[in-house]
Structure 1
Amino acid sequence: MKRVLIVDDESIVRVALRSLADWEKYGFTVVRDCMGGLQAVEYMKENPVELLITDMKMPGMDGLKLISHLRDMGLLPVTVVLSGYNEFELVREAFRLGVYDYMLKGDLNQRVLEELLDKVNRQYFKDQDPGRPDMALGDMDPMDMGLAAINLPKDGRYGIILFEVVDFKRQSMRFADNVEEEMSRPMLDLARQIPRLAAKGGIIKVYPSQFLMYYRVTDPVQYPSGILSLVRQIQKVWRDYMNLETQAAISDIVDYRDIGQALDQDIRLLKWSALAGEYAMCAAWDFEGYLSVMEEKKQGCQAFMTALFSGDKVASAQEKDRLLSTINTMDMQSATQECLHILCQLADQFHVYENEFSTLLPERVNYFEKISRLTQVKELELWMNNYFRWVSDYLENCREDRQEDVIPRARHFIADNYASPEMTLKSTADYVGLNEKYFSTRFTKETGMTFSTYLTSVRLEKAKRLMESTDLKMYEISDRVGYHNVEHFNRMFKKAYGISPRDYKRGRT
C-alpha cells in the first residue's frame, strides 16, 4: 500500500478526504492526517509517505512553506494541493516547487478524488518502487499550467494574455455543479470562434476563474493596438453572450523561452486591473513603472493591510495616519502614484482574504480616472481618508456576518484538535478568522473562562475518560491529550482535581 498524508487545518476537510474514496481499491492507505505544516514535517522526518495532500492556506506553516521545506530536506513525495477558487497564483507557485496537481475544495467529490488517484497510479507508480516517486516535476518547464501541452513553435515570439472572471464566486453559483460544462467550456468555444484568435493563437483554461491566451506576434509594431482590440472583442463576446465580466492582463512580446516570465508579468498586472473599472485591461507597456516597484510598495503597505483586515482598529488608524502623512509630503504626481499603489495592494488583500474587491462599491470604479480628477495633494489625502473609513466599515460588516457562530466553531475546532501540539489561541483565532486579541476577549466573555483554561479542561476531561476506559500508561494518556511532558500533565491534573492522575486511576479501579 502506498502511504498518504493529509494536511489541512479544517477537520471537516480531513474527514471528508478520508471518507470520499475507497483508498485501498487504488492501492493507497491514509496513514495520518495533520492540522498544519509543522506537524506534517515532524511526522515525515520519521515516516515516509508516497502521496501528500495539503491545503494551501493554513495558520503557522502554510502549504507553500511546507512544500518548500520538504523539498529542501529531500522529503517531498508526490504532492497534490487543495485550493480555493481565487488562489491561482499560490497554485502556480506550488507547481514551480514541484507539486503534481491541485484539487479545488469547492469541487471536491468522490469522482474527482478517485480520478486523481487513478492518474497518480498511472503516471507514477505503474513501473517503479512506490517508496521513491519520480520527482522530475521539480524541474517543470516554465510553461506549466497547461501551455506545455501545446506544441508552440519554439522560434516564435508571443504575447501572453491572462483573463479573470470578475466576482467569480458569485458568478459560478449560476452554474451550480456544472461550472466546467456550462461556463468554462462555452467561454472557450466562444473565444475560439473569433477569426483573429484562431489564426494567430489560442486560449486555454488554467483555473476555473482564469483563462490564458497565447498570441503569435508577426508584426511587433502593430501588436499593442491589435492585441488590445482582440482582447476587448473577447471580453465583449463573453459579456454579451454569457453576462460574464472579465478583466485582462497583457504581456510584452516575449520569445518562446520567456513565456513563463510573461505569465508572471500578467499575474502582477491582474492586481492592477482590479482598479480599472469595467472591461479592465492592463498592458505591460503602460505599467512598466508600477511593476518595477510593486514589491517595495507592498512592504510599505503590509502593516496597514494586516491591521485593517484583522480588525485591529488602533493599529489600523496608526498605520493609516503614517501612510497619509507620507503622501502629504509628496508632489501631486508622486502622491497620485503612491495612492494607486496602496489601492492596488488593498485590492490584492481582498483577493487574499477571499473577499471580492469589485463588490466594495455599488458600481465598478475606474480608480485611475477617479483619482486623476483630483488636483491637490490635500484633496487626495482627504479622499483616501474617507475611502479607508468606508473600507473599514465594510470589512467590519463582513466580519459581523461571519462571526455569529464563531465560539461554537472554535469549540468544535478544539474538540477535534485538542491533542495537537499546534493547538493554541492563535491557531484557533486564525481558524475562525479573528484577530487573536479580540478572539481571546470574546471567547472569555462567552464561555466564562479563558482559552487556556478551556483547553486545559477539555484535555483533562479526555484524560479522565482514558483512565476510566483503558489500560494505557500515564505517559501514553498524557501524550494522547496534548501533553508531551508527563510531569507537566501531572501538575495540571492535580491542580484541577486536587488529586494526582495515578491516585485518580487507582480510585476508579
Structure 2
Amino acid sequence: MNKVLVVDDEKLVRQGIITTFPWEKHGFQVTCDAGSGEKALELLEREEIDLLVTDLAMNGMSGLELIKRVKESRRDLPVVILTCHDNFRYIQEAMRLGVLDYIVKTEIEDEIVDETLTRIAGKLAEERSPYEPAKSGADSKRQTSDGLLLCGPSRSSRPAELLWKDEWEGWVGRMTEIDAATWLLRVTPAEADRLTAKFAAMPETGGWLCIHVTGIGEANEAEAAAKLKQYRKRVLFYASGGRLQTRGWSDVAAVTNPSDEVAVSAAALRADWLSADWVYDDSDFERLLATTAGSGMEAEELRNMLYPVALEWERLLDNGTLNEFHGLAGSGLFWKEWESGLRSFRQSIRQTVGRNATRQTSEAVFRAIELMREAIDSESGEAEIARAVGMSRGHFSKSFKKVTGKSYGEYLRLIKLERAKEMILRTDEPITRVAELCGFSDYRHFSRVFRDYTGKLPTEYRKAGALD
C-alpha cells in the first residue's frame, strides 16, 4: 500500500476526502493528515509517506509554498493537488513544480473519483523503478498450489498476530498484501491443512477470517491480487459463514462488480437515507438496512453514499453524528460493523431529538425540513410549511426550535447558503442569479449574509474556489 498524507485546512473537507474516496481500492492508505502546510512538513520529517495530497488555497502556508518546500528536501516525493475547479491555468502553475496529478474536490461522483485515482495510481506505477524487488519469493510460489486469504478484524491487524512467532520468518517470503488488513499466504495443500487445523483448534482467533483458496497456484501474482481484492470487497465484506472457509479459485475469480440491472442505485439509496422515516419507523429502518446490504456495495461505496447523510444530520442536530460516522467509515472492514454503527447512529439521533420533543413532533419537523429543501426557491413561508405538516404556526415555530436548536428562519437560511455555496463553485451563474435561485431577493443582503457565514463575499468565494 502507498502511504498517503492528506493536507487541507478545512477539517470537514479533509475528513470527507479521507473517508469517502476509495483509496484502498487503488493501492493507497491514508496514514496521516494535516490542517496546515506547517503541520504537513512536521509529519513528513518523521513519517514514511509515499504520496502527498494537498489543497492549494490554505490559510498560512499555501499549497504551492508547501510543494516548493517539499521539493527542496524530497524531490522524488509524488504530489497530487486538490482543487475546487477544473481550471487548467491554476493546475498548470502547480504542474510546473512537478506535481503528479490533481483531484477536483467538487466532483465526488463514484465514477469520476474512481477514474481519477486509477489515473494517479497508473502514473505512480510508471514513475517507480522497474527493478524494485518483489514483496514475496517467486521460487516458493512455484511449489504452492493453494493459498490462505487472511482477513484481520481491524486496519491495524497484522498477520504476525495469527501466525506463530517461531514460524513467522518462514512465511514472510510467501506473503502478499492484498488489501487493508488482508493478506494472501501461498501454501501447499498439506500446509493449508496443517495451518487451518491449528486455527480451528485455537479457542479464539481475535476476529480473524481465514479462507482456504484451492487451486490458486495457476494464477499469476497480479491476477490473483486483483481477483482476491475484488472478492474481499464484494463477498467477504458481507461474510457470515464462520472464521474458517474453503473456496475454489474458480469461484473466487468469478466474482465481478454487480451489473447495473442488479445493483441498487446509490443515489436512490442515499435519497432513502436522507429522508427521516427510518429514524422512528422500525420496519422502514430494517428495510433500509436489508436493501443497503443487498446492494452489494463495498465499504468505499458505502462511505460515499452515506457521508452526505451524516453531514446533513450534523448540520441539523450538531450532536457529533459526523464524528461518529468518520469513526465507522475509518474502521468498518465488514458489513456487520457498519450495521452495528448505523444502529448506533440512529439511536444517537433519537436520543438527541427525544430530549426536547415527542416522536410525533419530531416527525412533523423532519417532514417540514424535507419540504423546506424542496421549496427553497419558492414563495412558501413558515405558515405554509406549518400548515403542510398539520401544525399551527406558533406551535410549529416552538417545536422546530426544540428539535433542531435553531429557529425556522435560521435553518432555512442555512439551507439556502449551503445551496448558494454549491452553485457558486459548481456553476457559472452570475452571483445575482445565484442569490435569486436560492431565495434571496436582495443581492446586498445576500452578500452580507454570505460573508458572515463563509468569511468571504460571494465573488471572493468563487475566486478562491478557482484558485484552489
Name the TM-score, length of structure 1 as normaliser. Answer: 0.43
TM value normalised by structure 2: 0.45
Determine which structure has greater relative contact order: mean sequence separation of CA pairs < 8 Å that are 6+ residues apart, divided by chain length.
Answer: 2
